[in-house]
């Protein structure tokens, strides 16, 4: 999968045990190291995902109009366990209960104490431990469950590059996770998974406190009508693009490849369209977790991306970049936007962002310049974290203190570009070097014919 194009691996804490997660992480790091690839690791906390208890082996085939009784108590014959009294309390006759990704659905007919009598409205096979959601029900439970807190300890210990929080409702949920991490002494960028209607209502506030977002279309399409998901996807993506925070588009992207070696044409279009919308990353779930064609799925995604990128609406994004309002940008933002314009105008082969935290590289990528972006950073963490960001490759370099050293590492970063005499590159940096968040310089360098292939070092 690494060779096929995987750049981030998600470990889903909804499944598996701590011991197996530790093994997986160790294996992924080892493989990335031996293969000389950059791989970021994303831990995905389950959040308040409510699940049914066990259903008989092989599942239960339900027909339209069948009656089902749900109870919070285990071991009741003729009933199915729904071990979430708070969910039962929050629904009433007429409420919908959507099972899994919507393959089965019940309508609550009657509530007697803590048991629910339901009627099957969407027939299908009911499996064990399937997710249950009650669209529109207001559950008074925190987005961070006791299980998430325990899992967070492991996430910090294993030093993940990103942590995703499921079922975020408000900015408070993200702030709470950050506070919990601080208590543990760790500081991992947070991806807010947008999969609840409440989160849609608080999108900008959540974006401002998170480090990125996920368009979690699976659960979002349950909590809200599926026909609204396409436009919501565009809104969530542009909300992140506006500020240069990475956004992931997830779920069912190549769903049919779970069982088939080729995607449907609709799926191929979906991946391409997410990229045209401005997503930083496209994600696979079942396709690579349980499917029969994990490597083929990754490769297909990469090939779709490579085919659509030349047709990206770079002109539209250039216009957006050039219409940044006066007094609205920080120095780094202004320098990053200007670097894109300068690079286009001089016909540069690449933009090289020297960066400690990765912030300037994200700000450059945010404008989607039609020119390669190379980040150079002394931080391996930054290098991995940038794997989630659109169009950025990052080279790990020794810390530099002087301009000569900077030019040296820049030349190293440009090796894959096969530069010729008079080729031009645009470099952004912060002077003095080595401080985070201080990008204040653009430099245009051309390749010196006389000195062999080195950058002309007169500044």
The residue written with tokens 């190549």 in the block is: 254
Compose the 248-287 pattern: x for residues touching ligand PGA by CB under 6 A, - for all others: --xx---------------------------------x--
Taking the alpha carbons at both ends of the chain, their separation in whole angstroms is: 43
In sequence order, what are the residues at sequence separation of 6 or more whose Cβ sits closer than 8 angstroms to the Cβ of residue 225?
Answer: none
The span from the CA of 178 to the CA of 191, in Å, is 11
Tell me how many residues contact ligand PGA (CB under 6 A): 13
Q: What CA–CA distances, in Å, run from 377 to 205, 267, 382, 436?
A: 30, 36, 7, 11
The span from the CA of 3 to the CA of 105, in Å, is 40
| Residues annotated as part of the active site | 10, 51, 193, 251
Q: Which residue is nearest to Mn ion (CB)?
A: 219
146 Rama class: left (phi>0) / alpha (psi -120 to 50) / beta: alpha
Out of ligand PGA, Mn ion, none, which partner does residue 217 contact, by CB within 5 to 8 A per kind? ligand PGA
**Residue 366 interacts with ligand PGA (CB under 6 A)?**
no
Nearest distance in Å: CB 458, ligand PGA? 52
For ligand PGA, give the closer residue by CB, 112 or 227: 227
**Residue 223 interacts with ligand PGA (CB under 6 A)?**
no
Out of ligand PGA, Mn ion, none, which partner does residue 285 contact, by CB within 5 to 8 A per kind? ligand PGA
Nearest distance in Å: CB 18, ligand PGA? 18
Q: Are 162 and 388 in contact (CB under 8 A)?
A: yes
Per CB under 6 A, contacts with ligand PGA among 127-186 are 166
The span from the CA of 28 to the CA of 35, in Å, is 10
**Residue 6 interacts with Mn ion (CB under 5 A)?**
no
Per CB under 5 A, contacts with Mn ion among 185-214 are 195
For ligand PGA, give the closer residue by CB, 167 or 359: 167
**Binding-site member from 190, 216, 281, 304 for Mn ion (CB under 5 A):** 216
Residue by residue, DSSP assigns 277-339 as: HT-SEE--SHHHHT-S-HHHHHHHHHHHHHHHGGGS-HHHHHHHHHTPPTT---HHHHHHHHH
Dihedral of the alpha carbons of 239, 4, 254, 315, in degrees to the nearest 10: 40
**Residue 368 interacts with ligand PGA (CB under 6 A)?**
no
Nearest distance in Å: CB 456, ligand PGA? 49
* Span of 105-113, 213-221, 226-234, 315-323 interacting with ligand PGA by CB under 6 A: 213-221
For ligand PGA, give the closer residue by CB, 193 or 367: 193
The span from the CA of 385 to the CA of 407, in Å, is 24
For ligand PGA, give the closer residue by CB, 100 or 189: 100
The first and second tokens of residue 47, run together, are 């959040």
CB atoms closer than 10 angstroms to residue 379: 18
Out of Mn ion, ligand PGA, none, which partner does residue 133 contact, by CB within 5 to 8 A per kind? none
Out of ligand PGA, Mn ion, none, which partner does residue 207 contact, by CB within 5 to 8 A per kind? none
- DSSP letter, residue 324: P
**Binding-site member from 151, 173, 211, 219 for Mn ion (CB under 5 A):** 219
**Binding-site member from 105, 148, 151, 195 for ligand PGA (CB under 6 A):** 195
* Span of 80-88, 155-163, 215-223, 375-383 interacting with Mn ion by CB under 5 A: 215-223
**Binding-site member from 105, 211, 219, 287 for ligand PGA (CB under 6 A):** 219
| Selection from 133, 99, 90, 97 nearest residue 118 by Cα | 97
Nearest distance in Å: CB 231, Mn ion? 19
Burial of 350 (0-12, 13-18, 19+ CB in 10 A): buried
Burial of 180 (0-12, 13-18, 19+ CB in 10 A): middle
**Residue 232 interacts with Mn ion (CB under 5 A)?**
no
Q: Are 431 and 443 in contact (CB under 8 A)?
A: no
For ligand PGA, give the closer residue by CB, 188 or 253: 253
The span from the CA of 459 to the CA of 456, in Å, is 8
Residues that bind ligand PGA (CB under 6 A): 12, 14, 44, 166, 193, 195, 216-219, 250-251, 285
């Amino acid at each position: 999968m690494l060779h096929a194009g995987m750049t981030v691996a998600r470990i889903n804490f909804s499944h598996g045990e701590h011991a197996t997660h530790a093994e997986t992480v160790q294996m992924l790091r080892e493989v990335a190291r031996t293969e000389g690839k950059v791989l970021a690791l994303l831990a995905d906390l389950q959040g308040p995902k409510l699940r049914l208890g066990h259903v008989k082996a092989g599942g239960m085939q339900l027909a339209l109009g069948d009656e089902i009784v749900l109870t919070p108590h285990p071991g009741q014959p003729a009933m199915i366990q729904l071990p979430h009294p708070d969910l039962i309390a929050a629904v009433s006759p007429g409420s919908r209960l959507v099972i899994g990704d919507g393959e089965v659905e019940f309508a609550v007919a009657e509530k007697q104490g803590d048991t629910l009598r339901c009627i099957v409205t969407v027939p299908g096979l009911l499996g064990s431990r399937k997710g249950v959601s009650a669209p529109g029900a207001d559950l008074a439970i925190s987005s961070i469950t006791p299980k998430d807190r325990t899992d967070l300890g492991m996430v910090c210990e294993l030093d993940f590059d990103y942590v995703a929080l499921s079922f975020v409702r408000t900015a408070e949920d993200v702030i709470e996770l950050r506070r919990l991490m601080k208590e543990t002494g760790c500081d991992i960028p947070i991806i807010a998974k947008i999969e609840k209607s409440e989160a849609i209502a608080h999108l900008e506030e959540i974006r401002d406190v998170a480090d990125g977002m996920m368009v979690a279309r699976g659960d979002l399409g349950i909590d809200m009508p599926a026909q609204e998901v396409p436009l919501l996807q565009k809104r969530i993506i542009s909300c992140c693009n506006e500020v240069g925070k990475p956004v992931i588009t997830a779920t069912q992207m190549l769903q049919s490849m779970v069982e088939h070696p080729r995607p449907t044409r609709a799926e191929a279009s979906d991946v391409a369209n997410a990229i045209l919308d401005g997503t930083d990353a496209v994600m696979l779930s079942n396709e690579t977790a349980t499917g029969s064609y994990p490597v083929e799925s990754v490769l297909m995604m990469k090939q779709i991306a490579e085919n659509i990128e030349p047709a990206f609406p770079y002109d539209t994004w250039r216009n957006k970049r050039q219409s940044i309002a006066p007094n609205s940008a920080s120095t780094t933002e202004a320098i990053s936007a200007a670097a894109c314009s300068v690079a286009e105008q001089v016909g540069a082969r690449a933009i090289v962002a020297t960066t400690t935290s990765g912030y300037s590289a994200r700000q450059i990528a945010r404008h989607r310049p039609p020119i390669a972006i190379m980040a150079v950073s002394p931080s391996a963490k930054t290098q991995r974290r940038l794997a989630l960001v659109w169009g950025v490759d990052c080279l790990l370099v020794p810390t530099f203190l002087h301009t000569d050293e900077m030019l040296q590492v820049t030349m190293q970063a440009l090796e894959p570009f096969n530069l010729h005499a008079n080729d031009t590159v645009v470099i952004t940096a912060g002077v003095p070097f080595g401080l985070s968040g201080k990008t204040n310089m653009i430099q245009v360098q051309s390749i010196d014919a006389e000195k062999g292939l080195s950058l002309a070092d007169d500044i």
